[in-house]
Structure 1
Amino acid sequence: MNIFRHRPLGLLAPALLVAVAGCATADDSATVAVPSPDAKTAKVCRELHRALPRKLDGRDRNDPRPRSAYTAGWGNPAIILRCGVVRPPKMVDPGVAQGDDPDAVAGGVNGVDWLMEKQSDGTWRFTTASRVAYVQVSLVKGMSPQDEGASVLTDLAAAVKKAIPRGIASMR
């Protein structure tokens, strides 16, 4: 029995569209989900966007698509920054990783506290703590959190300190 015989071909078009939309574009720009911060958070994220460095760990600025004041990127493949993200589930209190999880470690670099999380694909993600907005930085696969990660966070510290005041971010 042919299970497709009674299904309209129109159902295949949306599935194909979703599959194609997930593919990389010809210009090698990364695509990322743009955060939707509240008004207070959006203001400091726009300030951060203006303060971000043109180079990060020797990589040129290469912002992801869609273009937004809440996202930035460097290199190809890109190190991605997203501002105004929701609090990571592993962040119990600002600056504190939950329990003794080896894949979630809290620490500070040049006056900015971060939660460092190993992702299921082996990449590392850092999220600011003790700031009025959560800023998330995702490293490129293969980058070491101790070496390149430390360099990336060092390069971002001045901009984060300038634009994102210390405090407690929205719990959303």
Structure 2
Amino acid sequence: MNNFRHRPLGLLAPALLIAVAGCSTADDSAAAAVPSPDAKTAKVCRDLHRVLPEKLDGRGRDDPEPRSAYTAGWGSPAIILRCGVVRPPKMVDPKVAEGGDADALPGGVNGVDWLLEKQGDDTWRVTTANREAYVQVSLPEGMSAPDATPVLTGLATSVKKAIPKGIASMR
């Protein structure tokens, strides 16, 4: 059974009430590494870029540098989206699929499956699962895991519209 299809992220929130200490950066401009997707993935990522919301969780759109059809951002400190990233190693880890890894949990929000991962700097990153492209969203410092739910809810319509269900390339 595919656990990414049956665990609403909202139900994970009580288990993840880990508040991340927030601090702002001295430079408010966001930067993001631009992915290098293959041609098929690049097309769906460009489609996604065209339908992304102007506001996300109350934050205005402010895309990171360098500007790219494969990245987007909202607010300051920024929520950063990158499309066409490689599959996260934890996505195929059986321990994660069984719910045995507190730093990586599968979930679903409004018809889009995601893998939620705690990073070494105590920030959180979520990546789509079961779609033809991996879309990664990095939450800024100060946003805890439960804060991901409204962000992912705001992105679900765009992801469903632009990124078909399926299996992304294994790169």
The TM-score normalised by the length of structure 1 is 0.80
Query: What residue is the counterpart of 1:8 in the other structure?
Result: none
Q: Following superposition of structure 1 onto structure 2, how do residues 76-87 of structure 1 map, counting pairs within 5 Å?
A: 76-87=76-87
Tell me the SS of whatever aligns to 1:90.
helix
Q: Map of 1:59-78 to 2, 5 A cutoff?
A: 59-78=59-78
Partners in 2 of 1:97 and 1:142 — Cα distance? 24
* Identity over aligned pairs, percent: 74
Counterpart for residue 41 of structure 2: 41
Comparing both chains, which one has the higher relative contact order based on Cα–Cα distances under 8 Å and sequence gaps of 6 or more? 2
Task: Tell me the equivalent position of 1:58.
Answer: 58
Q: Can you list the C-alpha shifts for 1:113-163, whole angstroms capped at 9, x where unaligned? A: 0000000101000000000000000001111221x2100000000000000
- AA aligned to 2:144 is S
Is residue 97–residue 106 contact of structure 2 (8 Å, CA) maintained in 1?
no
What whole-Å deviation, never above 9, does each CA across 1:60-119 have from its counterpart, x for those lacking one? 0010000000000000111000000000010117xx935511100001000000000000
Where structure 1 has 5 or more consecutive residues not aligned to the other structure, the ranges are: 1-23
Aligned to 1:150: 149
- AA matched with 1:53: P
1:141 aligns with 2:141: yes
| Aligned-partner Cα distance in 2 for 1:67–1:97 | 34
Q: Please name the residue that 2:22 is paired with.
A: none
- In the alignment, which residue of structure 2 is the partner of 1:171? 170
Alpha-carbon deviation of 1:25? 9.2
1:47 maps to amino acid: D
Root-mean-square deviation over aligned CA pairs: 1.7
Question: How many positions carry a matched residue from both structures?
Answer: 145
Alignment correspondent of 1:113? 113
The structure having more radius of gyration, on CA atoms, is 1
Task: For 2:26 and 2:131, locate their aligned partners in 1 and report how far apart those are by CA, in whole Å.
Answer: 34
Kept in 2: contact 1:42–1:84 (CA 8 A): yes
SS of the aligned residue for 1:128 comes to strand
What is the rounded CA distance, in whole Å, between the counterparts of 1:84 and 1:60 in structure 2? 23
Equivalent in the alignment of 1:15: none
Ranges of 4+ aligned residues in structure 1 off by more than 6 Å: none
DSSP 3-state at the match of 1:97: helix
Is the contact made by 1:29 and 1:63 (CA closer than 8 Å) also made in structure 2? no
CA distance in 2, matches of 1:45, 1:37: 9
- Distance between the aligned counterparts of 1:38 and 1:128, measured in 2? 17
Partner AA of 1:162 in structure 2: K
TM-score (norm 2): 0.81
